[in-house]
Structure 1
Amino acid sequence: MQLIDPTQFHSSSWDGSQAPVVNLVLPCYNEEAVLHETAGRLGALLDGLKAEGLIASASAAYYVDDGSRDGTWALIETLARERSDVCGLKLSRNRGHQNALLCGLMSISGDALISLDADLQDDLSIIPDMIRAFRNGDEVVYAVRRRRDADSFFKRFTAEGYYTALAMMGVEVVFNHADYRLLGRRPLEALRSYGETHLFLRGMVPQLGYRSSIVTFDRAERFAGESKYPLSKMLSLAWRGVTSFSAAPLRVITGLGMLVSLVSVAFGLWALFISLFTSMALPGWASTVIPMYLLGGIQLLSLGVIGEYLAKVYEAGKARPRFHVEAITGGWPGANTDR
């Protein structure tokens, strides 16, 4: 098993007088059904960009296999033998989309890296615009969905509501932006210093600063295969984004505790009034059962939220590696080719 040393790459020497080396980073998990088509389209795109002089001839596409269980890695090895600008890296086990993406971002050299999904839902036609923006001085270029007409009402409502909720809690995110973006070498090196165990890159990148811009696109239907982000994983990522970048849930618990205290006092006064001035009261029931259920539910909810934050501290304290590399194919820069 082999782990690429992330300290081997340093700031880019690109000064704008020549075409930059722009590499594409694609995390892959069980993408055998779509990968051949993806590689064909990306190969044609790279050839066109090189012929136009927008990128240097050393630019390439890098596929990070996130422990796939199908023939994804074998296909990547075949593609790497067919084209010199195709490289692959295989993680030793499935570590999740965010860790696989970070592995690629931290392991690949180049003046700029563009991260995108391998399922062809990200519009490749905007990549030239992203590169032009980079060459004009923007070190971070976000690809943002123009609209969500293709989504179901539930997905559109929950996604847009989630971005709004994050903003209300003070989390800096780009509305309707996922992980389709260009990062120059300086923001990439700045990202290297972040040691989060629970990654939420769409919240981390805006914190880097640097000059940025937005390119809009329309997301296409998946070309083949099944989505690797079912509802459970989407909810997990959403909760990670909240708990990794905002203490608002903890503050909500404080506010909720104060509110419950006020309600309990009001309820006590009401129960006292009923008991003293009416004959409707059932002795002991209201004053015992209602506060017990109310306070018990709130305590369990509060403990759950606090436990989530403590779990993150526990995971971060162990400082375990976020990924391990099992195999490399193609001309991966800086890697030991004795595999």
Structure 2
Amino acid sequence: MTNDCRVSASSPVAPRLCVVVPCYNEEDVLPETSRRLSEKLDSLFGRGAISKDSRVLFVNDGSRDLTWFLIRTLHDDPSSMGLSPRQPWFSGISFAHNEGHQNALYAGLMEALDRGYDCAISLDADLQDDIDAIDEMLVKHDAGAEIVYGVRSNRDTDTAFKRGTAGMFYDLMAWLGVEMVSNCADYRLMGRRSLEALSQYTEVNLFLRGIVPALGFTTDVVYYVRAERFAGESKYPLKKMVSFALEGITSFSVKPIRWVTMLGIVSLAVSFIMVVYTLVQAFTGHVVAGWSSLMVSIWFVGGLVMVSLGVVGEYVGRIYLESKGRPRYIISETTDGELPRA
């Protein structure tokens, strides 16, 4: 087995590629996703770019619809879904419970590593990631890039609100000192060496968009145009986007806690000023006039304390989750009949 993903004509052995696709309630889009992925892998195999042992690994993240049924059908009888049975491209694992996109993605990558694949490409099931970019990813990996990022060339398909908030998020993360690839979600190729390095990260608070760039290794990018979601609803509404941003911030930076300290110092300085102001008002007999400033001070300090407790609480909560040492996920079933692993 080779540690690199070779796709050039001179390569003696085509790489074993694993395409990892996290799925959560994707019954509407899965038939079309599997059709396009099947065509892509057929094309790559026909050109000798990948081994016949390559696979698409669907990770069912505790879906409540027919997602797992469709994944099993793709593995057991792809012809029933209008696909060619010549190459058994599809396999899957299923979580016992919904554990979130990042855990599903990590599980798929670790399964690819454990099963001995030479490289893995992760993408979402909604067909917004351009599948044709896989060809260029393989070529750049063959040229020496251990990690190849799929980067959006524009954000024209996003609303103005999403474009603005995304830009602010990337700017904030850069200011916090977090190394990230702008306009890159989780569409990337990782070679075996980077997968082995990723397996050493054991924290529960997963933020792969920050962890993968922190691995090091030689990287490259492939630009593509992100499409509209093919079918179904987005699995990242505003609430989840905010939660995801908090995960990223608290995973890689302690600056917010330092901000709390600075705000505390500023609040203390303001309180000294207010003491002087109150004494002056008392000596001059203008006690009533100080009522508004007193109320403002109380609300200001109270609000500052609550915000500070919230920020510190986020970090304490992360420490609590890490200290329990619980598994990130539990695999209840696999299409290949292998023993589940956590």
| Both structures adopt the same fold (TM-score exceeding 0.5) | yes
Amino acid at match of 1:156: R
* 1:179 matches 2:174: no
3-state SS of paired residue (1:177): coil
Amino acid at match of 2:98: N
In 2 relative to 1, CA 329–150 (structure 1 residues): closer, same or farther, beyond 3 Å? same
Match of 1:44 among 35, 39, 42: 39
1:78-125 superposed Cα distances (whole Å, 9 cap, x missing partner): 111224111011111111111111111011231110000001010111
Q: Match of 1:231?
A: 238
Cα distance in structure 2, aligned partners of 1:312 and 1:175: 25
Cα distance in structure 1, aligned partners of 2:172 and 2:255: 11
1:210-253 superposed Cα distances (whole Å, 9 cap, x missing partner): 00011111110111111111111111001110011110110100
Q: Match of 2:196?
A: 189
Q: Match of 1:55?
A: 50
Amino acid at match of 2:93: L
Q: Match of 1:318?
A: 324
Contact 1:138–1:211 under 8 Å retained in 2:
yes
RMSD: 1.8
Match of 1:170 among 171, 177, 181: 177
Matches within 5 A, 1:11-90: 12-14=2-4, 16=6, 17=11, 18-81=13-76, 82=78, 83=85, 84-90=88-94
Match of 1:91 among 77, 89, 95: 95
Residues paired across the two proteins, number: 323
Match of 1:261 among 239, 259, 268: 268
Contact 2:28–2:232 under 8 Å retained in 1:
yes
3-state SS of paired residue (1:253): helix
Q: Match of 1:290?
A: 296
1:277-323 superposed Cα distances (whole Å, 9 cap, x missing partner): 5x654176256433222111111111111111111111100000011
Shift of 1:130: 0.5
Contact 2:5–2:118 under 8 Å retained in 1:
no
Cα distance in structure 1, aligned partners of 2:147 and 2:3: 17
Q: Match of 1:3?
A: none
Contact 2:5–2:191 under 8 Å retained in 1:
no
Q: Match of 1:211?
A: 218
Cα distance in structure 2, aligned partners of 1:132 and 1:231: 36
In 2 relative to 1, CA 21–15 (structure 1 residues): closer, same or farther, beyond 3 Å? closer
Cα distance in structure 2, aligned partners of 1:86 and 1:94: 21
Shift of 1:274: 4.2
Contact 1:25–1:115 under 8 Å retained in 2:
yes
Q: Which runs of 5+ in 2 are unaligned?
A: 79-84
The two structures have a TM-score, normalised by structure 2, of 0.90
Match of 2:139 among 106, 128, 132: 132
Amino acid at match of 1:103: A
* 1:309 matches 2:315: yes
In 2 relative to 1, CA 89–170 (structure 1 residues): closer, same or farther, beyond 3 Å? same
The two structures have a TM-score, normalised by structure 1, of 0.91
Match of 1:118 among 122, 125, 138: 125
Shift of 1:12: 4.8
